[in-house]
Amino acid sequence: MTTYDVLFTLAGAISTGAAVLAVSTKHLVHSALWLVVALASLSGCYLVLGAEFVALVQLLVYVGAIVVLVLFALMLTRAPIGRSRDHDTPLPQRAAALVVGAATAALLSAVLISAFGNDAITVRGGSTHVLASQIFGTWVWPFELLSALLLIALVAALALSRMPIGRRDDSEADAR
Amino acid sequence: MIHPVLPMLLVGILFGVGLYGVLARRNAVLVLIGVELMLAAAGLLFVTVGSLTADPLRAGQSMTVFIITIAAAEIAVALAVILAVFRARGNIDVSQRGSDD
Amino acid sequence: MPSASRLDTQSLALDLVLQPSHLVVLLPAAVSVLILVLTRRSARGAFVIAAIGGLLGLLAAAALLAQQARGGAVADPRTIGELKVGPALAVPLRLQVDRLMVLVAVAVALVSLVVQVFARWYLYSDPRYRQFAATVGLFTAAMQLVVLSGDVLLILVGWELMGWCSYLLIGHESERAKARRASYKAFLVTRIADAPFAIGLAVLALGARSTSIPQIVQHWQSAAADHGTALTAALLCVICAVAGKSAQVPFQDWLPDAMEGPTPASALIHAATMVAAGTVVLAKLVALLELSGTARVVLTIVASVSMVGAAVLAFCQHDLKRLLAWSTVSQVGLMLLGLAVLPVREPADLGISHLLSHAMFKALLFLLIGWLSVLVGGTIVERQSGALSKHLAVRWLVGIGLLALAGVPPLVGFVSKDLIVDEAARRGVDGDVSARIAFVALVCVVALTAAYTTRMWLILVHRTGRQRVVVREAVEDSYDIRDVGIVEMLAGSPQVDVHGRPLRRDEPMPPVVDDDDDGPLPEPQPGAGARTGLQLLAILSIVGGALIFSPMLEVDWENANLWLIGASLVLMAAVALLVRLMSIGTVYGDAAARLPLPLRSSASRGFDVDAGYVGLVARPVVALARGVARLEGGLDRGVQALPALVTRVAGAGFRLHTRRPTSGLVAVALGVVLVGLMGVIWW
C-alpha cells in the first residue's frame, strides 16, 4: 500500500459515493450537485495518476460548464424542487437496472484487472509541456476536427432550440 | 508506485453506477447525468492506461481531453434536444409511452 | 348403300371404311342420341326410332354374321384410329370380329330389339318411356362395343358405360326408395368390383406394350413362363370385376335387388347382356386363363359357389322375378364354368354357347314374367299362383322357357349345359382339379335347376278350389285382382299396379295398348311385334341347340357321353317328381312352402348378404369417411387456430412491450452484458 494507493483510494471512494448518490437521490438538483462532487473527486484521481492537465480540464469543463448546463436544463424543464419519487422508474425495473449495473461493473472490473494484473507500477506523471507539444503536434488534426465538432454542435443546438415544434407552435398557427 | 487494481475497480464501479443511472432514472436530465458518469469512467480508463504504460505520444491524456470536449458538445446538443422534447410533450419523462403517429 | 363393285358377292366382303361391325355398335348408340334429340314428348316417335334402330342393328349384326360365315368379314376393323401415347404402349383401338363374338352380337341385337318392342307395351303409361328407350339403346351400344372390341381400352369404355346405364335402368322408377337403393347398390357393388379391372387390364396391356387383345394374348402366352405371378394377379383382378358384373360370389346380391327395375330392363341387363359381359371378356382372354392354374381354380370355385348357392336361393324365393334373378346368377356361373373347364388350347365355345342359349330363354322368361305381372298385378307367389291356368296365351311360351332353363332335351338349355357337364366330366376323369370341383357343382345345379323350374311351373299352373269354381262360372276374363281366385288370401292387402304402387279400387287400370287395333281384348297383351319377338325367342329356345351343328360353333358334340346324359335326365325327373310331391296340398302350389319359414325369409333376403355388405364395406367406409371428416375438421380448426395463436403471441409480445424507452433500454443493456459475459467466458 503506497501513498499513491491511499490517496487514490480516498479520492475514488468519494467519487464512488458521490456517483451512487447522484444516481439515487430523490432531489433533482442534489443529483446534479452530487455529480459535481463525483467529477471533482475524479479530477483528484487524475492528479494522483499524474495527469494534472486533464484534472484541470475536468474541473473547468465538467464542473464549471457541463454541470451548469445540466442545472440550466433542469430549470428550463421546470423540474420540481424537493424530494420526489417521480424521477425513478418502477421498482422491478430499478432492480433489473441494479442487476445490470452491478454485472457490468463486475464484468468490466474483472476484465480490466485480469488484463493489467496487479503489479505496482511507477506513475509517470507531470510533463504538461510534453502533452501540449503532443496535442498540437501529433494530435493536431483530431484537435482541429474537435473544434469543428464543437462549432457544429453549437449550431445544431441553436437550430434545435429554434425548431418550430410542439404544441405552442401549433396553437400559434391556429391563432393566425 | 500504484497498484492498477484501484483505478480499474473505480472504472468498473463508475461505469456500472452510470449505467444504473441511465436505466433507473425517468427524468431525461438525470439520464444524462448517468451518461456523464459513464463518460467519466471512460476518461479515467484512458488516463490510467496512459499512466501505466510508457507512451511517448501521451495518447491516454490526449484522448481524455478530447472526450471531455466531446462531452461538452454532447451535453449542449442533448440540452437542446431535451428542451425541444419538453416543448413538444410538456415533460421529459423517458419512461412515458410514446404516441403512435 | 355399297356399290356393287365394292361388294364381293362370293365372300360378302365390303371394301368400305364403314363395316357392318361398326354399324352394330353405332346404330344402338344413334338410337339413344336420336331419341333424345328428335323427340320431345312423343313416346310414339321414340318408339319408332327405337324399333327401327333396333331392327337395323339386328340386320347389321345378321349381315356381319353372313360375312363371317362366308369369310368376308374384316377381322380387325379400325375405329377412330390409333391413339398415340408414345413408344411404350400401342393403343390401336381396333375392333375384333371372330365367329363367337359375332354370334353374341346377333343375340344381343335380337334381345335388345325384342326388349325395345316389349317395353313400348309394358311402359305405355310411363311418362319417362323416352329416357328408358334411349338408355336401352345406349346400353346395347355399350354391350356391342364390349362384345366386338379388340382393345382393352374399348372394353373398359363399354364396361363402364354399361355400369352407368344399368344404374339408370334399375333406378328407372326413381320415385320409389327401393328402386333408388337397388340402383345405388348395383352401381356401388359393380364399381367396387370394377376397381381391380382397370388394374388387371393395365398390367396385361403394359406387359404386352399394347392394348390390342390379340397382341396381349400372344405376348402373355410366350411370357407366362417368366411372369406367371403377374399374369395370375392380372387375371385375378379381371375375375374380380367379372364376378362383380356377373353377380357372382361375393358380389352376387346386387342382381336380385336390381329386379326393382322395369321387367324389360331386367330382361336386357340381367339376362342377355350385362351379366354376360363378364363371360364375354373372359372368353376373349380364355387362352391366358389356361396358363394360370391359380386363376382357373379361383374362377372355378367362385362360379361353383355362386351357381349352387344361387340355385338354392332361387328355390326359396317368394318373388318369382327374384327367382329368375337368382337363376340368372346360377346360369352365369355355369357359363363361367364353361370357360374354366374348357379343353386346353380351345376357343371359348362352351361358355359362349351357353351364353347364347341363356340369352334366349332367360330374356323370354323375364319378358313373360313382366307380362304375367301386368296380368295379375305382381310377381310374388300369392299373385302369380295359378296365373297360367287363367291366361293361356302365355302358357306355352312360359313352358318352353322353363323347359329350356331346366335343360330338358332337345331344348337349347339342355344342349349347352350338357356340353359343359360332359367336358367337366371328361377333364375330371383326366385328373384336373378344377374340373372335378366343377363337375360336383354341376351335378348339384342340374338337380337344383330342375327343382326351381318345376316349382315355378307348379306355382304358375296351380288351381285352387276357389279358382275351379271361378273357372266353372267362366268369369276369367278380368284382370282385376278380385277375380284372380286367391282373393281370400289377399283381401287385406292393397291392390297394386304394374309398378307395385298401391292402387285405389275406383281408379282405372293403366290403359292397355293394342297396336293391332283389332278391338278390345279380354286381357292385356303385348302388341303383335312384341308377341312375334317372344315367339321368335321361344322358337330359338327350342331349335337353337342346333347351332352346335353349324360351323360357327366348334364343339365336340359327337362324342357325348350318353350315360351321363341319361343319368342327369333321371336325376332331373326324380327331383321334379319330388317337388311335385312337395307342392301337393300347399295353398299356392308352392313347393318351397314345405321349407321352414326362417329359411325362406332369410333366403328371400339373399341370406342377408346385404347386411354383410353394409357391415363389411359400407359401415367401415362411412366410419372412415367420418374419421377423415373429423380429422379434416380438426386440421381445419388447427389451421384456423394457428393465426389466432400467432395473434395471441403477437398480442402478448405487444403487451410485453411497454413502449417505454427505459424498459427497452434495460433489456438491451442486459443483452449486451450477457454477450460480453459470453465473450469473456468463451474467449
pLDDT in tens, A66-92: 888 888 888 888 777 778 777 788 888
pLDDT in tens, A154-164: 999 888 888 88
Mean pLDDT of chain C: 82
pLDDT in tens, C587-616: 777 878 888 888 888 888 778 888 888 888
The verdict on C681 touching A (C-beta cutoff 8 Å) is: no
Lowest mean pLDDT among A136-145, B2-11, C251-260: C251-260
pLDDT at C92: 85
Asked if B62 and A157 come within 8 Å (Cβ–Cβ), the reply is no
Mean pLDDT of chain B: 87
Examine the pLDDT at C478 and tell me if it is beyond 70: no
A165 membership: H or E segment, kind and range: none
Average pLDDT of the residues in A134-151: 91
The answer to whether C189 touches C255, Cβ cutoff 8 Å, is no
Asked if B95 and C666 come within 8 Å (Cβ–Cβ), the reply is no
Tell me which residue of B11, B37, B73, B64 sits closest to A57, measured CA to CA. B64
Residue B94 lies in a domain: no
Cell of C205: 396391356
Give how far A72 is from chain B: nearest CA, Å.
9
pLDDT in tens, C153-162: 999 999 999 9
pLDDT at A155: 92
Best residue of C657, C658, C670 to probe chain A, by most A CBs closer than 10 Å: C670
Q: With bands split at pLDDT 50, 70 and 90, how would you rate the model's confidence at C464?
A: low
pTM for the model stands at: 0.66
Which is higher by pLDDT, B89 or C233? C233
Chain A, chain B: beta-carbon pairs less than 8 Å apart: 288
Give how far B20 is from chain C: nearest CA, Å.
9
The answer to whether C130 touches C43, Cβ cutoff 8 Å, is yes
- In C56-75, the residues whose Cβ lies within 8 Å of chain A are none
pLDDT at A98: 92
Examine the pLDDT at C177 and tell me if it is beyond 90: no
Examine the pLDDT at C485 and tell me if it is beyond 70: no
Measured between beta carbons, the chain B residues lying within 8 angstroms of C662 are: 23, 25-26, 94-95
pLDDT at B14: 94
Any alpha helices (H) in C544-660, and if so which ranges? 562-583, 597-604, 609-613, 619-656
For the ranges B26-35, C369-378, C658-667, the maximum mean pLDDT occurs at B26-35
Residue B83 lies in a domain: yes
pLDDT at A19: 94
Measured between beta carbons, the chain C residues lying within 8 angstroms of A107 are: 673, 676-677, 680
Tell me which residue of B15, C375, C646, C528 sits closest to A23, measured CA to CA. B15
pLDDT at C631: 94
Residue B95 lies in a domain: no
Domain ranges for chain A: 3-138, 139-176
pLDDT at B64: 92
The verdict on B38 touching A (C-beta cutoff 8 Å) is: no
The verdict on C492 touching B (C-beta cutoff 8 Å) is: no
pLDDT in tens, C95-109: 888 888 888 999 999
Average pLDDT of the residues in C532-554: 82
Measured between beta carbons, the chain A residues lying within 8 angstroms of C658 are: none
Residue B99 lies in a domain: no
Q: Whole domain around residue B38: which residue ranges? A: 5-89
Q: With bands split at pLDDT 50, 70 and 90, how would you rate the model's confidence at C270?
A: confident
d(C-alpha C48, C-alpha C46), whole Å? 5
pLDDT at C501: 58
Average pLDDT of the residues in C211-232: 86
Q: With bands split at pLDDT 50, 70 and 90, how would you rate the model's confidence at C675?
A: very high
Q: With bands split at pLDDT 50, 70 and 90, how would you rate the model's confidence at B34?
A: very high
CA atoms within 13 A on the CB side of C214: 11
CA distances from A135 to A129, B60, B77, C332, C631 (A): 10, 11, 25, 117, 79
DSSP string, A99-128: HHHHHHHHHHHHHHHHHH-S--B------H
- The distance from CA C569 to its chain's CA centroid, rounded to whole angstroms, is 29
d(C-alpha C92, C-alpha C558), whole Å? 40
pLDDT at C486: 43
- The distance from CA C670 to its chain's CA centroid, rounded to whole angstroms, is 83
Lowest mean pLDDT among C34-43, C181-190, C306-315: C34-43
The CATH number assigned to the domain with range A3-138 reads: 1.20.120.1200
Measured between beta carbons, the chain A residues lying within 8 angstroms of B65 are: 53-54, 57, 135
pLDDT at A62: 83
Average pLDDT of the residues in C87-94: 84
pLDDT in tens, C43-88: 888 888 888 998 999 999 988 888 888 887 777 788 777 888 878 8
d(C-alpha C42, C-alpha A23), whole Å? 106
- Give the other-Cβ count within 10 Å of C581's Cβ: 11
CATH number at B24 reads 1.10.287.3510
Examine the pLDDT at C491 and tell me if it is beyond 50: no
Q: With bands split at pLDDT 50, 70 and 90, how would you rate the model's confidence at C519?
A: very low
The verdict on C663 touching B (C-beta cutoff 8 Å) is: yes
Lowest mean pLDDT among C162-171, C184-193, C659-668: C659-668
Average pLDDT of the residues in C133-138: 91
CB-nearest partner of C669 from B19, B96, B97: B19
Asked if A54 and B43 come within 8 Å (Cβ–Cβ), the reply is yes
Q: With bands split at pLDDT 50, 70 and 90, how would you rate the model's confidence at C515?
A: very low
- In A24-53, the residues whose Cβ lies within 8 Å of chain B are 24, 28, 31-32, 35, 38-39, 42, 45-46, 48-51, 53
d(C-alpha C629, C-alpha C627), whole Å? 5
The count of structural domains within chain B is 1
pLDDT in tens, B36-85: 999 999 999 999 988 888 788 888 889 999 999 898 888 889 888 888 88
pLDDT at C523: 67
